[in-house]
Amino acid sequence: MKNNDKTREQLLKELEKSHKRIAELEKSETECKHVSEQNRKFNKIIETISQSIIITNIKGTVLYVNPSYYAFSGFVEDEVIGKSMFRFAHKKSAIKLAKEIVPTLLKKGHWRGDLTVVRKDKQIVSVDLICSLLSDEKNKPEFFVAIFADITERKKAAGAVQESEEKYRLLADNSIDAIWQMDLKLVFTYASPSVKNIFGYTSEEWVGTRLSQHTTTKEFFNMARKAIYAYKNYKKFKFLTFETVMLRKNGTEIPVEITGKLLLNKKGLPIGIQGITRDITERKLAELELAEHHEHLEDLVKERTGEVERSQKSLILLLEDVNEVNQELKNVNNTLDATNKELEAFSYSVSHDLRAPLTRMDGFSKALISGYSNKLDDQGIHFLNRISASSQHMARLINDLLSLSRITREKVTRQKVDMSQTAGKIAKELKASEPGRKVNFEIAKGLIANADRKFVIIILENLLGNTFKFTGKKKNAIIEFGKKIIDEDEVFFIKDNGAGFNMKYYNKIFTAFQRLHSDKEYKGTGIGLAIVQRIINKHGGKIWAESEVGEGTTFYFRFE
């Protein structure tokens, strides 16, 4: 019986231990669920936060970025994860990242400041960057965490504010009137340099003084009453102008005219007074002279009134001139519209009325050669061949002129253009046109431009066509198309080992109809490079060339 009681007691103890263990496991499970929930919420915050987040290891290799970074930068995961963070910073910022930010993080554990980064579309963006260093349990540096936000527009706005403040400062510094601000306790918080000329105080001496220090007792109370009135009626009050007497630094009185207005905070409540004080000593002297010499002052008033009237008349004339200019501009615009319409009509006429006779001339010449060659001597056939060649040349000139005219009128619609793919297609067409020639086209891969696709095709057709033509006498012609950095700009280039030209004639190459080689040597109209330059100018870009006779030519161009 005793043994049974003992056994029961042991079972109860074991059962109690089991209950405690179960309770502990349930608590641990609850805590795990809580941690898991916290992690889920944290991950959700990271995934939805508007700021960009990048996590790297100590070597700067990117381990994680949140979706906001992909949306901001334009990159995709394969272009970021596993890559160095330095490649996404812009030039000097990359140097700053390596020489200042990383050492500061390793030393202090945090860094904050502005940085410039490069998006996938090559756009350079200013960001507000916050970096932190994360260490493991042994305090060994393990990760860098960077959080940043685009502040490009904010920097532009700050620059505009700074420019506005600079204009205001220049206006205040050069004004003959004293410009000032005071708080609601009538203590001056700002004064322009002109207080020196009017009152004898420097700006530094004036700031911090009270209005009462610069007025007589009577005038101080008079001005204080006006300030109280303005404060109580601030919703209706705009400007308050009055004349009074103030004190110079030497204690003498000076008559002044004060124009003031209340300064309001963002909530629309008064926080101070801003105003302009003008020395009216001369005006008061004039008034005294008026009392003593009424007739003389009347003439003076008439003279000044005349000046005002003349000023008003001048202003009216100026407004009339402005109206005339506006009308002239309107007329010019109308004339320009009419000219454009005439150009379109002329282009149509050239395209249909001039090209048709040329086509007939060419056709009749070929018909004569084909059907009547047995009735013509060699000289006659030669003349007909020349007529045919000239008519074809004239047709090409007309086509090129129409292209030049059309390019001038068309608008630029930018998009990402695969320059490598386009150049490759043109190269194949050029090779097919002369299958007996040995020409090696070396076209770099991944050349992308932000430009108008139809215009890019025209540029590459003309430039690659030129290189193909002017390497025609080379046994092993080489034509290279690539990209390089010149003065921190990405520049495309097309290089050949062809005929080249003398650089003293450089100014002619982009001018229509200016050719550096005879038509017998190399066929052409002399308009192609003019078309190319006009297209690149429409893109806000630039084109130039380097060449040496017999050694080839390199054309460089870039888009804005």
pLDDT tier, 135 (very low <50, low <70, confident <90, very high otherwise): confident
Q: Which of 62-71, 166-175, 220-229, 289-298 has the highest mean pLDDT?
A: 62-71
Residue 53 reports pLDDT greater than 60 = yes
Strongest mean pLDDT among 92-106, 319-333, 513-527: 92-106
Look at 15 and 555; give whichever has higher pLDDT.
555
Which tops the pLDDT comparison, 23 or 31?
Answer: 23
Range 175-291: architecture per CATH: 2-Layer Sandwich (3.30)
In the chain, where the domains are located: 47-156, 175-291, 293-399, 410-558
What's the whole-number mean pLDDT along residues 98-125?
86
DSSP 8-state symbol, 38 = H
Q: Return the pLDDT at 322.
A: 56
Q: What separation in angstroms does the CA of 455 have from each of 86, 412, 465, 532?
A: 35, 8, 15, 9
pLDDT of residue 160: 61
Would you tell me which CATH number, out of the four given (3.20.20.70, 3.30.565.10, 3.40.120.10, 3.90.25.10), belongs to the domain 410-558?
3.30.565.10
Mean pLDDT, the chain, as a whole number? Answer: 77
Helix (H) or strand (E) holding 455, with range, is helix 453-470
Give the range among 232-236, 258-262, 524-528 with minimum mean pLDDT: 524-528
Is 91 or 405 the better-scoring residue by pLDDT?
91
pLDDT band at 34 (very low <50, low <70, confident <90, very high): very low
Residue 535, pLDDT above cutoff 70? yes
| Cross-strand partners of 61 | 84
Torsion sign over Cα 507, 510, 511, 514: positive
pLDDT at 555: 93
On the question of pLDDT at 273 being above 90, the answer is no
Predicted pLDDT at 412: 80
Fold match between domain 175-291 and domain 410-558:
no
pLDDT, position 32: 46
Query: What's the one-letter identity of residue 375?
Result: K
pLDDT at 444: 94
User: Using one digit for the tens of pLDDT, what is the confidence trace for 409-467?
Assistant: 667 889 999 999 999 999 999 888 888 888 999 999 999 999 988 888 888 988 998 89
Selected residue with higher pLDDT from 344 and 261 = 261
Each as own residue / partner, the long-range contacts of residues 83-89 (CB below 8 Å, 24 or more positions apart, any chain) are 84/59, 84/60, 85/54, 85/56, 85/60, 85/61, 85/144, 85/146, 86/60, 88/117, 88/118, 89/115, 89/116, 89/117, 89/118
Is-contact 51 149, C-beta < 8 A?
A: yes
Best-predicted range by mean pLDDT (83-87, 266-270, 365-369, 539-543): 539-543
The C-alpha atoms of residue 144 and residue 61 are separated, in whole angstroms, by 10
Instruction: Specify the DSSP element, H or E, that contains 449.
Output: strand 448-451
The pLDDT of residue 117:
87
282 and 233 Cβ atoms separated by less than 8 Å: no
State the pLDDT confidence band at 148, using cuts at 50, 70 and 90.
confident
* pLDDT higher at 229 or 76: 76
- Comparing CA positions, the residue from 444, 541, 425 lying closest to residue 483 is 444
Q: Which CATH number fits domain 47-156: 3.30.450.20, 3.40.50.150, 3.40.47.10, 3.40.50.300?
A: 3.30.450.20
What pLDDT score was predicted for residue 404?
A: 54
pLDDT tier for residue 231 given thresholds of 50, 70 and 90:
confident
- Residue 554 backbone dihedrals phi, psi, to 5 degrees: -125, 125
The share of the chain scoring above pLDDT 70, in percent, equals: 66
Q: What is the pLDDT of residue 425?
A: 92
Taking each helix axis from N to C terminus, what angle separates 453-470 and 528-538, rounded to the nearest 10 degrees? 150
For 331, the token pair is 């007329």
